[in-house]
């Protein structure tokens, strides 16, 4: 993945070319080995007036063969990874390039807010003034009413994820914050202040997926494998869901991925979850079976998900501090988790015995969710 | 979006303005909102218009300070989701201070226009 942050003058094609080039170097493969591209992007039409990005990004990466853009809001590149895995598993391809990119900082915050809200229901939500922070705020206030919890509980999640990013040179915010910083920040949409929200970011991610046979035949170092894949969907609009503070698409994605990998939540050593807003980390941990509904709100506060906790969550800094270039996020989770398990991430020492990692990438208010299980296989 | 009507959705707004709001009932007694051709709960194509309950109950709310450009002059505003029998509807609160909005409050549905774009939107007012 590229460093995430503000590079407003760089095009998405340039960002993705960089990420793809680094992925080729890491895999010790040349672009001509790739048989197919699955590429995630959400708001290219808003930010760059650029659609039809599959062929564009294939060319930027030096790849020929079929190329497809996946758009599933913030889950775009996670879904792209899933398609790549399925393509390899089915025997349709031995080498697939997956990833995504997003250019967001070349437009104003107001225009970016408008672009992001397109992941919600255009009739029933956007026409009522629902923004993305607003939608997750509706979920947070519903959660507080149903299960309890406070803004301070959420603040501990922001503090944790910023702390994890301090030494991560790829992160947008290598900056520690404290509880007061979070609680005293300007309100975006109640109960969220600025530090409850992930930022707008520029960045790209890429990974080369290969079959076991190809890796063996070519002597590739593939010490980490994707062993479980799952995806779920839900009603797009919050108003059409049975329970607003729960995310059944993540439950479905998680259960499918666990079954696929032959593991249970108890086997997971480290997780990267989609903390686009602080409450989103809570909902993810509960949906993935790490906590019962209503129980994950205090996980960060109690130190259970901190870097030295029982289940470290978002050691990369998460979306909150690493940054959230929407279409790149799911692929970046795969990249960061691979490094964490492989031992070459700046925070790998915190999970040196870890053999099973999980990534959770959500679109919209988790109307889309894709979960991957990664395991050390050497 | 363009000024062209959105069939189903704008029909619903018209019905609210006319004092005759409705929802769509599926064969299992479940509710949904237009535009629909297929019942999301059962897959049935048998959808029947039913009168929307006169009052709803707020199930969640938020006060938005950072708005999209289309609501820039409206901010801050309160968005709420209210439950009217078998359907939930999203709208903005009117005739109540933001700090007084609570989950569980009873509201009436109406139509207002946004300040920024002067577009129609669903609003809720505290029931008398």
Report whether A251 contacts A230 (CB < 8 A). Answer: no
Residue A3 in domain? no
| Closest in A111, A117, A190 to B62, CB measured | A190
A104-151: per-residue pLDDT in tens?
A: 999 999 899 889 989 999 999 999 999 999 999 999 999 999 999 999
Q: What angle, 0 to 180 degrees and rounded to 10, lies between the N-to-C axes of helices A151-165 and A278-287?
A: 90
**Cβ contact A259:A223 at 8 Å:** no
Tens-digit pLDDT profile for residues A316-338: 999 999 999 999 999 999 999 99
Q: In this complex, which of A111, A130, A188 lies closest to B66 when CB atoms are compared?
A: A188
Chain B residues 90-119 with a CB less than 8 Å from chain A: 90-92, 98, 103, 114, 119
Q: Using one digit for the tens of pLDDT, what is the confidence trace for B68-93?
A: 999 999 999 999 999 999 999 999 99
Please give the Cα distance from A376 to A342 (Å, whole number).
7
Identify the CA nearest to A316 among candidates A297, A303, A299, A335.
A335
Measured distance CA(A163)–CA(B128) in Å, rounded:
50
**Could you say which DSSP state residue A357 is in?**
E
Asked whether A272 and A357 are in contact (CB, 8 A), the reply is yes
What's the average model confidence in pLDDT over B33-55? 97
Give me the pLDDT at residue A26, please.
97
Contacts of A127 in chain B (CB under 8 A): 9, 119-122
CA distance A277 to A299: 15
User: Per-residue pLDDT for B43 more than 90?
Assistant: yes
Residue A378 has pLDDT above 80, yes or no: no
Q: Residue B49 above 90 pLDDT?
A: yes
Q: Which domain holds residue A161?
A: 12-376
Inter-chain touch A129–B79, beta carbons under 8 Å = yes
Q: How many CB atoms lie within 10 A of CB B118?
A: 7
Task: Please report the pLDDT score of residue A113 as a whole number.
Answer: 87
pLDDT digits (tens, 9 = 90+) for A153-199: 999 999 999 999 999 999 999 999 999 999 999 999 999 999 999 99
In a domain, A7, yes or no: no
B127 touching chain A per CB within 8 A: no
Contact indicator for A198, A319 with CB cutoff of 8 Å: yes
- A1 domain-assigned: no
- Start-end of CATH 2.40.50 domains in chain B: 53-128
pLDDT tens digits along A42-100: 999 999 999 999 999 999 999 999 999 999 999 999 999 999 999 999 999 999 999 99
Neighbours of A8 (CB within 10 A): 11
- Checking if the pLDDT of B3 tops 90, the result is no
Report residue B110 as tokens. 């109406």
- Mean pLDDT to the nearest integer, A244-271: 98
Q: How far apart are CA A69 and CA A328, in angstroms?
A: 12
Task: Write the residue in B68, B114, B121 that is nearest to A114 by C-beta.
Answer: B68
- Cβ atoms A333, A325 nearer than 8 A: no
At residue B2, the pLDDT reads 65
Of A138, A139, A188, the CB nearest to B79: A138
In a domain, A199, yes or no: yes
Pairing of strands B87-93, B120-126: parallel
**CB contact (8 A) between residue B114 and residue A125:** no
pLDDT of residue A73: 98
φ, ψ for residue A97, nearest 5 deg? -95, 130
Residue A71 lies in a domain: yes
Token pair 């209210």 is found at B82
**Is the complex ipTM more than 0.85?**
yes
CB contact at 8 A, A239 and A367: no
- Radius of gyration for chain B, computed over Cα atoms and rounded to the nearest angstrom: 15
In chain B, % of residues over pLDDT 70: 98
CATH of the domain at A250: 3.40.47.10
pLDDT for position A374: 98
Q: How far apart are CA A244 and CA B6, in angstroms?
A: 26
Q: What is the mean pLDDT of chain A?
A: 97
Are residues B60 and A138 in contact, defined by beta-carbon separation less than 8 angstroms? Answer: yes
Number of domains forming the structure of chain A = 1
β-strand pairing of A95-102 with A36-40: parallel
Cα distance between residue A337 and residue A34, in whole Å: 22
What is the C-alpha separation between A59 and A65, in angstroms, rounded?
A: 10
How many Å lie between the alpha carbon of B71 and the closest alpha carbon of chain A? 6
Is residue A307, in this structure, part of any structural domain at all?
Answer: yes
Pairing of strands A356-363, A270-272: parallel
- Angle (nearest 5°) at CA A135 between B91 and A76: 130
In a domain, A2, yes or no: no
CATH number of the domain at B53-128, out of 1.20.950, 2.40.50, 1.10.10, 3.30.450?
2.40.50
Q: What are phi and psi of B125, to 5 degrees?
A: -125, 145
Contacts A130 to B, Cβ<8 Å: 64, 79, 90
**Contact partners, residue A75, CB within 8 Å, separation at least 6:** A40, A274, A330, A361, A362, A363, A368, A369, A370
CA distance A131 to A125: 8
Contact list, B77 vs chain A (CB under 8 Å): 129
Are the Cβ atoms of A190 and B72 closer than 8 angstroms? no
Q: Do B64 and A125 touch (CB under 8 A)?
A: no
SS3 B58: strand
Close Cβ partners of A20 (under 8 Å, ≥ 6 residues apart): A31, A60, A61, A62, A63, A97, A99, A204, A206
- A313: distance to nearest CA of chain B, Å? 27
Q: Which two tokens stand for residue A106?
A: 């070349």
Rounded to whole angstroms, what are the CA distances from A66 to A30, A97, A207, A285, B80? 17, 11, 17, 36, 45
């Amino acid at each position: 993945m590229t460093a995430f942050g503000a590079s407003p003058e760089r095009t998405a094609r340039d960002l993705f070319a960089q990420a793809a080039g680094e992925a080729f170097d890491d895999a010790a493969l040349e672009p001509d080995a790739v048989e197919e591209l699955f590429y995630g992007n959400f708001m290219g039409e808003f930010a760059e007036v650029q659609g039809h990005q599959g062929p564009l990004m294939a060319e930027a990466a030096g790849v020929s063969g079929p190329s497809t853009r996946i758009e599933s809001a913030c889950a775009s590149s996670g879904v792209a990874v899933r398609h790549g895995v399925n393509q390899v598993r089915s025997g349709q391809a031995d080498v697939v390039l997956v990833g995504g990119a997003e250019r967001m900082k070349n437009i104003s915050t107001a225009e970016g807010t408008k672009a992001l809200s397109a992941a919600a229901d255009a009739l029933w939500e956007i026409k009522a003034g629902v923004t993305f922070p607003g939608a997750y705020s509706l979920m947070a206030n519903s959660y507080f009413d149903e299960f309890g919890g406070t803004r301070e509980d959420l603040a501990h999640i922001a503090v944790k994820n910023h702390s994890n990013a301090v030494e991560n040179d790829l992160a947008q915010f290598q900056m520690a914050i404290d509880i007061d910083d979070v609680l005293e920040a300007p309100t975006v949409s109640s109960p969220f202040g600025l530090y409850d929200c992930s930022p707008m970011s520029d960045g790209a991610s890429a990974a080369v997926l290969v079959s076991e046979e190809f890796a063996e035949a070519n002597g590739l170092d593939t010490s980490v494998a994707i062993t479980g894949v799952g995806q779920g969907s839900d009603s797009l609009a919050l108003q059409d869901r049975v329970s607003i503070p729960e995310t059944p698409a993540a439950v479905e994605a998680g259960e499918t991925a666990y079954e696929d990998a032959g593991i249970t939540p108890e086997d997971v050593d480290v997780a990267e979850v989609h903390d686009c807003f602080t409450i989103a980390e809570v909902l993810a941990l509960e949906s993935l079976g790490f906590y019962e509904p209503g129980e994950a709100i205090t996980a960060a506060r109690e130190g259970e998900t901190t870097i030295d906790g029982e289940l470290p969550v978002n050691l990369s800094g998460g979306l909150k501090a690493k940054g959230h270039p929407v279409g790149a996020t799911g692929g970046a989770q795969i990249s960061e988790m691979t490094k964490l398990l492989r031992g070459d991430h700046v925070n790998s020492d915190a999970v040196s015995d870890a053999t099973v990692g999980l990534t959770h990438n959500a679109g919209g208010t988790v109307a889309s969710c894709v979960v991957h299980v990664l395991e050390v296989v050497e | 979006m363009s000024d062209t009507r959105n069939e189903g959705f704008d029909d619903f707004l018209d019905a609210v303005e006319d004092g005759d709001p409705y929802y769509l009932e599926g064969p299992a007694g479940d509710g949904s909102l237009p535009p629909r051709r297929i019942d999301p709960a059962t897959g049935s194509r048998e959808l029947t218009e039913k009168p929307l309950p006169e009052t709803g109950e707020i199930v969640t709310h938020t006060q938005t300070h950072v708005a999209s450009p289309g609501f820039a002059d409206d901010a801050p505003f309160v968005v709420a989701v209210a439950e009217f029998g078998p359907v939930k509807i999203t709208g903005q609160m009117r005739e109540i201070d933001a700090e007084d909005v609570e989950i569980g409050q009873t509201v009436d549905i109406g139509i207002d226009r946004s300040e920024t774009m002067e577009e129609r939107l669903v609003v809720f007012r505290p029931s008398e």
